[in-house]
Amino acid sequence: MSRVAPAEPWSPTSTDPTDEQFAHVVEPTTVAHADEYDAVLLGEPYDGAVVGRPGAREGPAAVRTALAAVKTHRLGAGGVDRVGDCGDVAFDGKSSAVAQETAARVARSLHRRDVLPVFLGGDNSLTYANARPLLERGTLGCLTIDAHLDVRAVREGPTSGTPYRQLFEAGLDAYACLGARHFETTGEYARYVAERGGRIVTAEAVGDDPLGAADRALAALSEVERVYVSVDLDVLDATAAPGVSAPTPGGLTTRELFRILRYVVADERVAGVEVVECAPPLDRDGRTVDAAARALAHVLSVVASRDEP
């Protein structure tokens, strides 16, 4: 298996003994012991394939720091118990194709265990690596919460714009993009999705009816056994997430993102989640990092509530 740099212990920021923060419930672990938890984190500090501005390689460390200070209690749902942190995939700086293979070996090992892996990106090229091992386990649908379709053809090598084209070519059974933005793709790529039975649900549709839009996306995945959920933070409006590779206006609000994320992750077929394209060097006032951390908090809260009687 590829080398994984071990996780460091998390440090709480509050001195109030009643404040339970994620730093109190996240424990360093290893891939071999991942199935001792309901969910584990795995960092992927890589942005060598980004289309646009780099910086996402610094995402995992910054998001961990932000999440450590977030309280675990979600109103109406309770808290989060134990979460494992498997550390970071160690990339050697070679080509994007090699980076994908490196990440896929670790992802495959996690998917073989009885645990929900939550990947901390890193750029969107590693979506292919994170989801591809699930194709070996039955039918798979990908739900990407993203401004872009990411079905570009692979030319000189994989990029952050190619993961779903690669997955389709590897046998992906179903695809839906939730939060797609007007004027952010080409007609050719929209046709490519349509020809393969995929569904595109716009950011405007999310604004009109968030859960209705999520239902439309999930309906396109109704026949698959497993669902992989990807959150590309550029789905958020540029005012909420300036620290991404390609920030543009017209995106989701953080409240819309958190609501639909809770809704889709509650689907028991979800077998993996990722939050990608958080680029701290491009951020302003920590807005994007904080949005990423809270998106993870919502995911982990839903996973915790699955086991409640």
- Per residue in 214-228, pLDDT tens? 999 999 999 999 999
- Is residue 257 scored above 70 in pLDDT? yes
Per the structure, how many domains does the chain have? 1
Which carries the bigger pLDDT value, residue 225 or residue 305?
225
What is the pLDDT averaged over residues 245-260?
Answer: 97
- Is residue 300 scored above 60 in pLDDT? yes
- Is residue 2 scored above 70 in pLDDT? no
User: Quick one: pLDDT at residue 309?
Assistant: 37
User: Quick one: pLDDT at residue 270?
Assistant: 98
What is the pLDDT averaged over residues 160-180?
Answer: 98
Q: Give the angle 143-127-92 at the CA atoms, nearest 5°.
A: 170
Structure tokens at 175: 């695809």
Q: What is the CATH number of the domain that holds 88?
A: 3.40.800.10
Range of the domain at 146: 4-306
Residues 6+ apart with CB under 8 A from 232: 124, 144, 145, 146, 147, 148, 150, 244, 276, 277
User: Quick one: pLDDT at residue 307?
Assistant: 58
